[in-house]
Chain A
Amino acid sequence: MAQSHKEVLTKGLFKENPVFIIMLGLCPTLGVTTQVVNGIGMGLSVIFVLVFSNIFISLLKNIIPNSVRIPSYIVIIAAFVTIVEMVMHAFAPAIYKALGIFLPLIVVNCIILGRAEAFANKNTVYDSFLDAIGMGVGFTMALILIALIREVFGAGTITLIPIGNFDGVLKIPLLYTYPVRVFTLAAGALLLMGYLKAFFTWFAERKRG
């Protein structure tokens, strides 16, 4: 465990990207990425839960008995997920509805429990915080990438957050008229994930020489 703070922070972005390299948290990754805005909403929720659960678990690591640590982590995580649910329901009802069942399912998102078990329970609070930020941002980036590809090809639009007069939807000329519908469906998501994973494997191999 001789990682510098910078390494702890940045490893989640590319080297140990939770979605493409460690392959955790796949259900929400494919489930919510039909629109870019949903990907952003999901990503932010996961960052919030991940940061706070990592901090709390790191703070409590000497108090929680080893034999009941997993249930304790789940309770801590579930508490923060409930907070996110309530806040979203109140302030962003559209995204709350779009994320649907995947919002409460953040509880069983393997990334969060995985980071608690693999990192937060044996590192300092500050390092755990950095780790959570890095992993969360890496997750969000992966979500946005997948959502961008699926929405652009599948619907010909890019849906962002509406600001002022701008309703948040960018239309792409040709694809909007002739979208490749399969990208928005389950089958397209699985196929795309397969090709992206193959691409990242190929890329990693090449970089290694």
Chain B
Amino acid sequence: MAYVAIFITYIFINNFILTQFLGLCPFIGVSKNSESAIGMGMAVTFVMGIASIITWLVYTFLLVPLDLVYLQTLSFILVIAALVQFVELIIQKNSPGLYQALGIFLPLITTNCAVLGIAIMNITEGYTLMQSFSAGIAAGIGFTLALVLMSNIRERMDLFPVQKSFKGVPIAFISGGLMALAFMAFDKSLLTNLLG
């Protein structure tokens, strides 16, 4: 049950983009068409899942025993940067098709706040290894959901006349705001109603 709660929390209630403002740059930057939105979303979900596991292991078995907790930020960002490079190499080698789809998004992920965000959150929330992994995947799915919805809205919007000064980024922000307003319907009571 705890895992179901984590998934619902990170996909809907605490959606990274729409309630926590993590990962706003790709939300505005890569949401112009739905294909690249799906690619970016999948790449981020993948990296967030693995990064959650590795940063949790680093924190629990390296930083805590050595009393180096203050190096958390530094070590996490290094792990994430190395991981992204590593994932890029592996995908490039083993599945050229996937690499073509995700390739251009991978370097952008290192500086995506959502990845470092979930790594730090797992620690502050005191999750276990499996819970961290679930939270990572769930937050990634939530990120993808918001990104794909947004890209579909923007594709539609291209067909409608938008006031000149609102074209592009401003109208994207306003649509995002309205989406966030809709997402406010998901709150803690959803969890209690669903899971008791």
Q: Which residues of A contact B (CB under 8 A)?
A: 23-24, 26-28, 30-31, 70-71, 74-75, 78-79, 81-82, 85-86, 101, 104-105, 107-110, 113, 182, 185-195, 197-199, 201-202, 205
Could you give 15 example pairs across A and B, Cβ below 8 Å? A27-B21, A74-B110, A78-B74, A78-B78, A85-B70, A104-B73, A110-B111, A186-B21, A187-B180, A190-B18, A191-B174, A193-B177, A195-B170, A199-B165, A205-B164
Find A105's partner among B116, B173, B180 (CB 8 Å cutoff).
Answer: B116
Chain B residues whose C-beta falls within 8 Å of the C-beta of A23 in the assembled complex: 25, 28, 169
Taking a contact as CB atoms under 8 Å apart, the answer to whether A24 and B165 are in contact is no
Find A194's partner among B112, B117, B177 (CB 8 Å cutoff).
Answer: B177
Tell me, yes or no, whether B19 is within 8 Å of chain A by CB.
Answer: yes
Find A198's partner among B71, B81, B120, B170 (CB 8 Å cutoff).
Answer: B170
Taking a contact as CB atoms under 8 Å apart, the answer to whether B25 and A191 are in contact is no
Tell me, yes or no, whether B181 is within 8 Å of chain A by CB.
Answer: yes
Rounded to whole angstroms, the CA-CA distance of A33 and B157 in the bound complex is 29
Tell me, yes or no, whether B100 is within 8 Å of chain A by CB.
Answer: no
Taking a contact as CB atoms under 8 Å apart, the answer to whether A75 and B78 are in contact is yes
Q: Would you call the interface of chain A mostly helix, strand, loop, or mixed?
A: helix
Indicate whether A191 sits within 8 Å of B20 (C-beta atoms), given known contacts A101-B121, A108-B77, A108-B113: no
Rounded to whole angstroms, the CA-CA distance of A192 and B178 in the bound complex is 11
Tell me, yes or no, whether B166 is within 8 Å of chain A by CB.
Answer: yes
Chain B, range 150-171, C-beta contacts under 8 Å to A = 163-166, 169-171
Chain B residues whose C-beta falls within 8 Å of the C-beta of A201 in the assembled complex: 165-166, 170
In the assembled complex, how far is the CB of residue B154 from the closest CB belonging to chain A, in whole angstroms? 13
In the assembled complex, how far is the CB of residue A135 from the closest CB belonging to chain B, in whole angstroms? 16
Taking a contact as CB atoms under 8 Å apart, the answer to whether B19 and A186 are in contact is yes
Tell me, yes or no, whether B145 is within 8 Å of chain A by CB.
Answer: no
Rounded to whole angstroms, the CA-CA distance of A107 and B75 in the bound complex is 11
Rounded to whole angstroms, the CA-CA distance of A189 and B116 in the bound complex is 22
Indicate whether A198 sits within 8 Å of B77 (C-beta atoms), given known contacts A30-B24, A113-B111, A186-B21: no
Chain A residues whose C-beta falls within 8 Å of the C-beta of B193 in the assembled complex: none
Given contacts A27-B23, A108-B77, 20 further A-B contacts (CB under 8 A): A26-B28, A30-B21, A30-B24, A71-B82, A74-B81, A81-B73, A104-B116, A107-B116, A108-B110, A110-B111, A113-B111, A182-B181, A185-B184, A187-B18, A190-B18, A191-B174, A192-B177, A194-B170, A201-B165, A202-B164
